[in-house]
C-alpha cells in the first residue's frame, strides 16, 4: 500500500475514533454530573392538604398477556377511589378488547371511575390515543403506564406531592426490571438501561439540564401538556418530543431515581431490536425537530450543549459503521508503531472504551453494595452486544435522517408466558434486512479472528473476538426460535440488601 493510501486510512481511522472519543468524553461528563449531585434527592415543597384528582392513562395495543396484571396493579394503588379516574385507551385489534371490557366492568363494580375508550383508527398511535383522551381526562394530573408495567401501591402518593411546586410539569419514576435474571439478554438489557436511568436521568435532572419523560411510569400536570402544544405524533418518541417542548416553555421536571416501577424487558432478540430501532430513530427525529429551536432559544449555553449531546447521542452508530470498515486495515495493513499507539490507540481506549466500562460499572454500583463487582463478568458481553446492535440502530439513524416513514411498532410483551409459548405467540417482532448484514458481519469477523490467530497477532484477537461474538449473538438470538440454541439462563443471584442510597431488589 502506498504512503498516500496509508495516510488516508490513518486519517479516517483517527477521525472515526476521535468522534467516538467525543461521545466517550460526554459519558465522563455525565458521571461527573451524577457524582456531584448524587446526594441531592428531590423533595416536594410541601404536601397537598387535600389530595387532588389523578387520571391514570393506560395506552394499549394488543396486550392480552399483560393487561390483566396491569389493571390489577392499578386497582391496588393506595389512593382514594373518589380521587382516581382510570382511562383504558385501547387500540387493540384482537382479544385484548374483550379482556379490557370485562376488566373495566369489574373495576366499576369495585367503585372505580373507569373510562374505556376503543379506537378503530390508530392515527398517531400512542401519542394519538393520549391526545384523544385528554378532553375527558378529569384529573389535573395524568399518570401514564405502558402495559408491561406493575406500579406499586404507594406510587401515586410518592409522585403527587412534588406538584405542590407550581413550576413542576412532570415527575418521572425509574424503571425496574421484572425479568432481569431470565437470561443473558435480559441481564445485558438491564445494564444498558440502568446506565441511562440511574446516571443520565439523575445527573441531568439534578444539575438543572433537560431530560426526557420515559413514556411511562411518570405523572404530568395536564396544564403543562397543553401549554407545550399537546401530544404530537410526527416522531416515534413522542415522550422525548413533548419533554423538550415543555421544558423550553419553562416547566421543571423531577426525576425520582429511588422510586422504582418494575417492567418487562423484551425476552427475545427480535423484540429487543425492534424496541431499539424505534427508540433510536425517534430520538434522531426529535433531534432534527428540536435542534434549531434549542439553539435559538434563550436557554443558557450549558443547557444547549447538553441538550445537543442528549439528542444526538445515537449518531455514534454512524461512526460504528466507520469502525467496521476500518477494523481490517487497522489490524492487518497499518504497521503498529509507538506513535500510532500513543497518539491514537491509547486515547481511543481511554475515551471510547474505558469511559463506557466505568459508566456501566458506576450505574451498577450506585444501586447496590459491590454491584460493580458483580457486573464485571458481563462487561465484555455488554460491549459486544452494543457492537452487534450497530447495524440495526445505524439503519434507524439513517431512516430518520432521510425521512423514511415507518409506523410505531410495539414491542411484544409476554407476561408470565414460558419460552415455548412465546415461540408460538402471534406477538412476534418482524425481521428486517439488517439480519442478513449481521450474518455477513458475523462470518467476516470470524474470518478476521482466524486470520489474527494464524498470523500470531495475539493483541488483536480479543478486540476482534468482541465484534465476532456481538454479531454472532445477535444473529443466533434471532434464529433461536427455530433452531436449538442455548437459552443463556443464568444461575440465580442471592438477594441483596439495599442500602440507604440503593433501590430495593426487584425479583
Tell me: the pLDDT tens digits for 211-260?
999 999 999 999 999 999 999 999 999 999 999 999 999 999 999 999 99
Q: What mean pLDDT comes out for the span 274-296?
A: 97
What is the rounded CA–CA span in Å between residue 298 and residue 302? 11
Which band of pLDDT confidence, cut at 50, 70 and 90, is reported for residue 389?
very high
Q: Which residue has the cell 492487518?
A: 332
Of the residues 91, 146, 194, 268, which is catalytic?
91
Beta strands in 274-418 (DSSP E): none
How confident is the model at residue 426, as a pLDDT? 57
Instruction: Give the C-alpha distances (Å, rounded to integers) separating 229 from 210, 222, 284.
Output: 18, 11, 20
pTM for this prediction: 0.89
**Which CATH superfamily groups domain 46-271?**
Spore Coat Polysaccharide Biosynthesis Protein SpsA; Chain A (3.90.550.10)
What's the mean per-residue pLDDT of the chain?
A: 88
CA–CA distance, 85 with 81 (Å, rounded to integer): 8
Please give the average per-residue pLDDT across 351-378, as a whole number.
90
At residue 298, does pLDDT exceed 80? yes
Q: Confirm whether 146 is a catalytic residue.
A: no
Which one from 90, 148, 194, 239 is the annotated catalytic residue?
239
Contact in structure between 280 and 398 (CB atoms under 8 Å): no
The answer to whether 383 touches 353, Cβ cutoff 8 Å, is yes
Strands (E), 230-296: 252-263
% of the chain beyond a pLDDT of 90: 72
- Residue 458 confidence (pLDDT) above 70: yes
Instruction: Kindly tell me if the per-residue pLDDT of 28 is higher than 60.
Output: yes
Alpha carbon separation from 211 to 219, 287, 488, 507 (Å, rounded): 14, 13, 34, 28
Looking at per-residue confidence, does 12 or 43 come out higher?
Answer: 43
- The C-alpha atoms of residue 160 and residue 164 are separated, in whole angstroms, by 8
- Rounded to whole angstroms, the Cα distance separating 333 from 1 reads 8
| pLDDT value at residue 341 | 53
* Model pLDDT, residue 425: 59
Chain centroid, CA 169 distance in Å:
22
The helix/strand/coil state of 143 is strand
* 239 noted as active-site residue: yes
Span 89-139, pLDDT tens digits: 999 999 999 999 999 999 999 999 999 999 999 999 999 999 999 999 999
In angstroms, what is the C-alpha Rg of the chain? 24
Amino acid at each position: 500500500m502506498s504512503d498516500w493510501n496509508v495516510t488516508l486510512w490513518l486519517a479516517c481511522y483517527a477521525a472515526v475514533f476521535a468522534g467516538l472519543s467525543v461521545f466517550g468524553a460526554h459519558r465522563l461528563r455525565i458521571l461527573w454530573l451524577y457524582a456531584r449531585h448524587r446526594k441531592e434527592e428531590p423533595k416536594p415543597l410541601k404536601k397537598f392538604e387535600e389530595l387532588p384528582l389523578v387520571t391514570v392513562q393506560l395506552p394499549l395495543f394488543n396486550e392480552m398477556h399483560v393487561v390483566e396484571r396491569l389493571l390489577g396493579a392499578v386497582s391496588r394503588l393506595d389512593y382514594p377511589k373518589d380521587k382516581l379516574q382510570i382511562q383504558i385507551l385501547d387500540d387493540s385489534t384482537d382479544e385484548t378488547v374483550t379482556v379490557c371490557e370485562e376488566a373495566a366492568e369489574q373495576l366499576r363494580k369495585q367503585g372505580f371511575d373507569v373510562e374505556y375508550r376503543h379506537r378503530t383508527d390508530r392515527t398517531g398511535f400512542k401519542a394519538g390515543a393520549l391526545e384523544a383522551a385528554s378532553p375527558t381526562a378529569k384529573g389535573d394530573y395524568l399518570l401514564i403506564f405502558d402495559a408491561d408495567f406493575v406500579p406499586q401501591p404507594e406510587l401515586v402518593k410518592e409522585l403527587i406531592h412534588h406538584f405542590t411546586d407550581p413550576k413542576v410539569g412532570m415527575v418521572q419514576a425509574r424503571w425496574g426490571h421484572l425479568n432481569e435474571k431470565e437470561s443473558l439478554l435480559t441481564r445485558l438489557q438491564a445494564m444498558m438501561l440502568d446506565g441511562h436511568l440511574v446516571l443520565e436521568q439523575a445527573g441531568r435532572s439534578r444539575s438543572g439540564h433537560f431530560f426526557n419523560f420515559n413514556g411511562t411510569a411518570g405523572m404530568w400536570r395536564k396544564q403543562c401538556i397543553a401549554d407545550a402544544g399537546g401530544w404530537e405524533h410526527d416522531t416515534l418518541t413522542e415522550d422525548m418530543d413533548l419533554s423538550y417542548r415543555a421544558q423550553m416553555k419553562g416547566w421543571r421536571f423531577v426525576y425520582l431515581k429511588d422510586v422504582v416501577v418494575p417492567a418487562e424487558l423484551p425476552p427475545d432478540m427480535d423484540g429487543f431490536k425492534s424496541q431499539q430501532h424505534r427508540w433510536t430513530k425517534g430520538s434522531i427525529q426529535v433531534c432534527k425537530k428540536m435542534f434549531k429551536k434549542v439553539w435559538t432559544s434563550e436557554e443558557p449555553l450549558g443547557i444547549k450543549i447538553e441538550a445537543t449531546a442528549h439528542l444526538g447521542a445515537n449518531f455514534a452508530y454512524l461512526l460504528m459503521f466507520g469502525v467496521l470498515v476500518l477494523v481490517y486495515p487497522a489490524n492487518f495493513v497499518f504497521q503498529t508503531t509507538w506513535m500510532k499507539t500513543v497518539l491514537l490507540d491509547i486515547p481511543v481506549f481511554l475515551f471510547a472504551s474505558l469511559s463506557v466500562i466505568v459508566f456501566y460499572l458506576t450505574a451498577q454500583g450506585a444501586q447496590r453494595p459491590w454491584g460493580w463487582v458483580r457486573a464485571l463478568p458481563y462487561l465484555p458481553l455488554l460491549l459486544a452486544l452494543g457492537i452487534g446492535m450497530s447495524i440495526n440502530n445505524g439503519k434507524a439513524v439513517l431512516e430518520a435522517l432521510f425521512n423514511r416513514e415507518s409506523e410505531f411498532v410495539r414491542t411484544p410483551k409476554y407476561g408470565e408466558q414460558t419460552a415455548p409459548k412465546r415461540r408460538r405467540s402471534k406477538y412476534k417482532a418482524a425481521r428486517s434486512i439488517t439480519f442478513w448484514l449481521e450474518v455477513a458481519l458475523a462470518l467476516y469477523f470470524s474470518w478476521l479472528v482466524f486470520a489474527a490467530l494464524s498470523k500470531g497477532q495475539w493483541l488483536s484477537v480479543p478486540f476482534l473476538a468482541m465484534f465476532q461474538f456481538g454479531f454472532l449473538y445477535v444473529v443466533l438470538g434471532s434464529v433461536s426460535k427455530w433452531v436449538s440454541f442455548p437459552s443463556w439462563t443464568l444461575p440465580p443471584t442471592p438477594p441483596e440488601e439495599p442500602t440507604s442510597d440503593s433501590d430495593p431488589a426487584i425479583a
